Amino acid sequence: MSKPTPMLFPMSTGLFSSTVQSSELISTPQARPKKGDPHFQNEALGRSRGGLTTKIHLACDGKGRPLAFTITPGQQHDCTQLQALLDSICVPRFGKGRPRKRPDHLIADRGYSYPFCRRLLLKRGIPHTIPERKNQAERRSKKPGRPLSFSKERYARRNMIERCINRLKQWRGFATRYEKRAVYFCAAITLISLMIWLN
């Protein structure tokens, strides 16, 4: 039986992999805000056909445990929060040493398949597995050049983030955002994440 590679599983040495994903949540109705109210803009509430929405951008380790998150209005694109997610990852080491800030490998979906996302990961020295979007593959096929490396086997590990989000959504207050204030909602997500880590 072969041992798991440290690239995909957290070890006692502090090695970890990271998976990023976003999930959109529908918020409970609240009083209509004043037009152009800056206070409302800071509460991570967006408008869609279904009403008020919030999107959580989440990073988890190789065992599906939350590492970092940010929340934005529902219409915000995933790729805008990659840098904020990477900056907020902080995995303490056992014993002496600074906390780990850089994952051994990052797996993300097509929402992060943009040149500036890949440049950011390359600049930080983070190996990554991100599939190309269809239009990118079509454009690249017209020009000669080396294709991007992509491993289907490694990308299959992205289901860990889906499992992590499903575990978070077992709490009703998370699945339907009951907290009107963003700071309270972030506190609730942090508490749920701690409970997942302790189990």
In terms of residues, how long is the chain?
Answer: 199
Which alpha helices (H) appear in the chain, and where do they start and end? Answer: 38-41, 82-88, 115-123, 134-142, 152-155, 159-168, 172-175, 182-198
The reply to whether 148 falls in a domain is yes
**Residue 49 domain boundaries:** 18-29+39-198
pLDDT band (50, 70, 90) for residue 100:
confident
Question: For residue 163, is pLDDT > 60?
Answer: yes
Distance of CA 177 to the CA centre of its chain: 18
CB atoms < 10 A from the CB of 101, how many? 12
Mean pLDDT score of the chain, rounded to an integer? 78
Residue 13 domain-assigned (yes or no): no
Band the pLDDT of 6: cuts 50, 70, 90: very low
Secondary structure (DSSP) of 106-162: EE--GGG-SHHHHHHHHHTT--EE-PPPHHHHHHHHHS-SPPPP--HHHHGGGHHHH
Assign 67 to helix, strand or coil.
strand
User: Is the residue at 3 inside a domain?
Assistant: no
- Within 8 A by CB and 6+ apart from 188, the residues are 171, 173, 174, 179
Task: Give a yes or no: residue 77 inside a domain.
Answer: yes
Asked whether 21 and 105 are in contact (CB, 8 A), the reply is no
pLDDT band at 26 (very low <50, low <70, confident <90, very high): low
Q: 8: which 2 tokens? A: 């995909």
pLDDT per position as a tens digit, 38-68? 555 678 888 777 788 888 899 998 888 999 9
Report the percentage of the chain scoring pLDDT > 90.
18
Q: Does residue 12 lie within any of the structural domains?
A: no
In a domain, 93, yes or no: yes
* Structural domains of the chain, count: 1
The domain that holds 194 is classified in CATH as 3.30.420.10
* Mean pLDDT lowest among 16-20, 106-110, 134-138: 16-20
More confident residue, 138 or 19: 138
Contact call for residues 168 and 197 (beta carbons, < 8 A): no
89 CA to centre of own chain: 10
Burial class (CB in 10 A: 0-12, 13-18, 19+), 21: buried
